[in-house]
Amino acid sequence: MYPWIDCRSVLCEYKQCLCEEYETVEDYRPQPGEEVLLEERFTEPHIVQKHREQSEREKEVRSRGETSFGARASQTYRSTSIEQLFCPFDRGRTPKAVILQGHSGHGKSFAAQKIMYDWACGRLYREHFDLVFHLRCKELNLLTGEMSMVELLSRSYRFTPMITQVLHHHPHRVLFLIDGFDELSLSLDGARTLPRSDLLSPAPLEDNISALLMGRILSKSSLLVTTRSTASDRLSKLLKRPQRFAEILGFSERGVREYFGKFFHDEVLSTRLYECVRSNETLYTACFIPVICWIVCTVFKEQSAEDMDVTRRLETSTSIFVYFVSTLLKHHCQQLDQPGLVLKLLKSLSQLAERGMLKQQVLFDEKSVSEAVSDPVTGPFLCKFLLKKKTILQTMFSFMHLSFQEFFTALHYTVIQEEETHRKLDQMLGSICQGMRISIIVIKPKQRYNYHLLPIIQFLLGLANNSVRTITLESHTLTVPLSVRSRLEDWFLRVMKETSVTTSDRARCSYLRNPWGNNVKLSLLHCLYELNEEAFVSRAMALWEEVEFTDIPLRRTDCWVLRYCLLCCPCIKSLRLTGCAITAEKMMMLQPVLCRSEKLSLQVEELSDGDVGDLLSALGEGNVLRYLSVVESHLSDESVQQVLSALTRQKSVGAVSLSVKTITSRTAETLLHFIQNTQINEISVSVPNLADKDSVSLCSSLSLRRHADKHLNLSAKHYASSSAQLLSDSESSSPQAEAALSSMSLTLPPSPQLQPTDCTAFLQTLHSVRGLTESSVGFAERVDALLSCLLSLASLKKLVMVVSCLTTGWASRVLTLVQACSSLKEITVLAGRGVGLNLSGDGFLLEDGLKLLRSSPKRPDCSLTVIGWRCNKPCDQCTNLSDSKLPCNRHVQLSINGESMTEKAQWALKLMHPPMNPALVLDQLLIMEQNGWTQRSFLWISGRRISGYGRARAGLYL
């Protein structure tokens, strides 16, 4: 390679020295002698090659959780890697200088060390560079006097001849890695501009560095310079060309997961810890910053060393952010070593953050930042970037993420005078309460109560946490004045009282009366967790007569917060968790509070037979179980028996719904025996995703219900398979494509009791017609067998059946039942599918069938109700489901008693995408009520039909 015979061996020795130096890395705060292997800790950062537009930056700063990683991983960002930094441009030119920009703590220096190590090991840039030099700007600041370029670069005298030879003869094969340009205290702008070619003559350090950057010396060499964003524009003006810009955005979503795996080594443990953090949106978003990732993992590691259950508990978000700020102040703010400078920086940053939060602003122009922060480029917490507006480049700033802006806003109340704190706090709290009172007609719910200010309250209560108060930020102790804390707690208690939901409130439609939603209530619990003071948490939770969360997925962190808050309560009067994505793992996390709840409504999902014991443990004994639902599960008959047996040990049980593998005769007999011999009033089982080819299960859903008058209702339904559902949902869907009979419900008197043989006989005959259309072979014979089975039930009182459409065939069979079954007093026929997302009444009532019902003799003591769509055209009447949208059709309810028939229009309010203004919906609901809106009315909301249970129920979907 070189004419000097010993050069290769000396270069190998040089690389070996680099390998030994760079193979280990120290954490930010190591114990003496504590270090880890670089390979076991380094995680590839997410690097892009594009200056982002204002809208992209604003979206990234505001996004949280998985959406945050998704926004940063966009293809428009032109992702790249360390290996590709010196690849040719599109036009073939190779960059001579690369700016690797990144914010504090994003891993620039870590990446520089990995580059040095991989090159020394022969894994990186082997084809590009024969020699790589690493110049740390922190170390350059300590050098004094004049020295030659060779002296500056030589690590040892024995390497000086080799370095000199390579620099003279092969400068194009040399890379200079200058790390931390923003920390360089040298004044390069005034350095001499004369060309320099002598590598051996002493010169001021400023001249050497300036000449190297500008290409006035070793012009053919390559440069890789890392810097914070606050110094990148100055660096760009100094560097030789052609240049490449690249930016480290921290970790990608995959990178966070990989870092956890490398930190803990144990794959099972690291996965559980990662999922724990992933469920906390604030921390998960912040974990794209490598330093935050390290802090979180370190906290987990310390808890593990203290034998704590690290998968169940995490430090408060506020404490993690305080650790982060403390770390950056110590390792990235050496220039702030004079007394009072740190406090001045915190005050100015917090003032800027507060101003932005009140205006909902995340990007700041240079003028507004300069008014608040005297020297914005010296602090590690602001990001500086250039935005191109037409022909003008505008300097803009932002915090690393909205979460940090929220944190610094809360920090503002600890660093200003107490009187000013009271004034500003009163303004913010008043703004939230004023927003809460705005009418519900506002389309965007979060704007109603200034939702964007609630995270500030959460961080502020976190700063009042006693354990956080002991942490110092470079000699400044975080202190929330007692008077401020007292005022904040009083306000918080008032809000907790206003968000309480009682049984009477629910009856009066509390959703319309109180605009606070589940998301806000969940935020309040997180606020209590951040404060972490049991006495106050107990006092606040006592204001909620019922703790209720419905139709909002609870993450692992949410469950931990809920558990903490409820464990602080001496008595849990009522707990309702339905539609909250409670899995077996989350259920066990909540087990201590579930079993203590005097009244409990619970829905869990994805349980296996092995989880049944945990479910019974969570339910406890001697309580009031208002509602129990197990969905998306496949429980066996044995597990169903276990659950039902355990329910007998409760004080009282309301409705029970279980998801099972299959519904057999044994299942039906078990349910029938249970409801006939206990005080439980309603129990149902269902088979999720029952396929058409499944011939074992008697039906998709089976329910038994005891009415207040002791009558027993038995209901069986057949859900369409996914493929059949897609076919029936198509625009060309017709009655001939639909299963003729999908649901049947029977009501019998309390005595004589329904016998198990009668129950299974009914289910088996109903199963025989499953999926058949009226044109199917053997359809008539099987339906006749079903009618015979019904007629054998001499005490049958009511019958509800769902048919695809009312044809003459079904009309004739209904008339047969009316005449032949003397005990039958009510028959309801609904045209449509009646199961799944599509509720009863979406099918057509054909005129020939109606004519037969109207003209045929009927018993006067048996009422007949028919519901569905009716076409008003005299001929060529509509039959397809898609035709119901035409103006010739109306949704009707026909009531037939003896020879009289009355027709009543059913209300159908269609709210297609995009949804209508909620105010218009409510106005329409009021009109419905005034015109006798019935129990069988329904709404179309965002393409889904919602059954009508009164205005309060409908309001839940707006």
Nearest to 282 by CA among 250, 317, 253: 317
Q: Is-contact 559 580, C-beta < 8 A?
A: no
The amino acid present at 237, given as its one-letter code, is K
Q: What angle do CA 697, 698, 701 make, to 5 degrees?
A: 90
Residue whose pair of structure tokens reads 């030879």 in the numeric block: 165
pLDDT in tens, 835-890: 443 455 778 999 999 999 988 988 889 999 999 999 988 888 888 877 777 889 88
Q: Is the pLDDT of residue 738 over 50?
A: yes
669, 707, 757, 883 from 710: Cα distances, Å: 19, 5, 21, 42
Residue 165: CB atoms within 10 Å: 17
Instruction: Give the pLDDT mean for 172-185.
Output: 94
The contacts of residue 112 (CB under 8 Å, 6+ apart) are: 134, 177, 179, 224, 226
The contacts of residue 780 (CB under 8 Å, 6+ apart) are: none
Instruction: Give the strand pairing for 944-947 and 938-941.
Output: antiparallel
pLDDT in tens, 484-502: 999 999 999 999 988 886 5
Tokens of 430: 């008043």
The contacts of residue 327 (CB under 8 Å, 6+ apart) are: 28, 29, 105, 291, 295
DSSP states along 597-660: -SEEEEEEES--GGGHHHHHHHH-SSSEEEEEEEEEEEE-HHHHHHHHHHHTTSSEEEEEEEEE
d(CA 358, CA 371): 17
Share of the chain above pLDDT 90, in %: 53
**CA 839 from centre of chain:** 30
* 68: exposed, middle or buried (Cβ count in 10 Å: 0-12, 13-18, 19+): buried
Q: Is-contact 607 584, C-beta < 8 A?
A: yes
pLDDT in tens, 766-788: 999 988 888 889 999 999 999 99
- Quote the pLDDT of residue 944: 36
Tokens of 556: 């692992």
- Quote the pLDDT of residue 197: 67
Q: Is-contact 462 506, C-beta < 8 A?
A: no
Q: Is-contact 115 82, C-beta < 8 A?
A: yes
d(CA 184, CA 614): 60
The region of weakest confidence among 283-292, 436-445, 633-642 is 436-445
Instruction: Give the pLDDT mean for 622-628.
Output: 95
Sequence length of the chain is: 958
Residue 800: CB atoms within 10 Å: 19
Helix (H, G, I), strand (E, B) or coil at 306: coil
| Confidence tier at 693 by pLDDT (50, 70, 90) | low
pLDDT in tens, 279-303: 888 899 999 999 999 999 988 888 7
Residue 185: CB atoms within 10 Å: 11
| Confidence tier at 339 by pLDDT (50, 70, 90) | low
- Quote the pLDDT of residue 720: 65
Phi, psi of 769, rounded to the nearest 5 degrees: -100, 5
The contacts of residue 241 (CB under 8 Å, 6+ apart) are: 96, 97
Going by the DSSP 8-state scheme, the letter that residue 583 receives in this structure is -
- What Rg, from alpha-carbon coordinates, does the chain have? 36
Q: Is-contact 759 714, C-beta < 8 A?
A: yes
| 637-647 helix and 665-677 helix, angle to the nearest 10 degrees | 0
**CA 447 from centre of chain:** 20
Q: Is-contact 529 458, C-beta < 8 A?
A: no
- Quote the pLDDT of residue 935: 38
- The residue among 159 and 719 whose pLDDT is bigger is 159
Instruction: Give the strand pairing for 174-179 and 131-136.
Output: parallel
Going by the DSSP 8-state scheme, the letter that residue 909 receives in this structure is E
Q: Is-contact 323 295, C-beta < 8 A?
A: yes
| Confidence tier at 954 by pLDDT (50, 70, 90) | very low
Return the H-helix or E-strand segment holding 548. Answer: strand 547-550
Buried b (16+ CB within 10 A) or exposed e, 125-153: beebbbbbbbbbbeebbeeeeebbbbebb
| Confidence tier at 173 by pLDDT (50, 70, 90) | very high
Helix (H, G, I), strand (E, B) or coil at 533: coil
d(CA 454, CA 274): 26
Instruction: Give the pLDDT mean for 203-217.
Output: 91
**CA 605 from centre of chain:** 18
Residue 863: CB atoms within 10 Å: 18
d(CA 246, CA 649): 65
DSSP states along 28-44: SSPPTT--EEHHHH---
Q: Is the pLDDT of residue 939 over 60?
A: no
Residue whose pair of structure tokens reads 């030659």 in the numeric block: 148
Give the end-to-end CA distance of the chain in Å, rounded to a whole number.
75
**Single pTM value for the model:** 0.80
d(CA 714, CA 719): 17
The contacts of residue 36 (CB under 8 Å, 6+ apart) are: 24, 25, 27
Q: Is-contact 899 890, C-beta < 8 A?
A: no
316, 421, 427, 528, 823 from 487: Cα distances, Å: 22, 11, 12, 15, 68
Residue whose pair of structure tokens reads 């994003």 in the numeric block: 106
Instruction: Give the pLDDT mean for 209-217.
Output: 92
The contacts of residue 933 (CB under 8 Å, 6+ apart) are: 907, 925, 948, 950, 951
- The residue among 709 and 714 whose pLDDT is bigger is 714
Instruction: Give the strand pairing for 826-831 and 863-871.
Output: parallel
Q: Is the pLDDT of residue 81 over 90?
A: yes
Q: What angle do CA 684, 686, 692 make, to 5 degrees?
A: 145
Q: Where are the beta strands (DSSP E) in 648-757?
A: 652-660, 682-686, 701-706, 712-717, 741-748
* 659: exposed, middle or buried (Cβ count in 10 Å: 0-12, 13-18, 19+): buried
The amino acid present at 796, given as its one-letter code, is L
- Quote the pLDDT of residue 922: 41
pLDDT in tens, 95-154: 999 999 999 889 999 999 999 999 999 999 999 999 999 999 999 999 988 999 999 998
d(CA 289, CA 325): 12
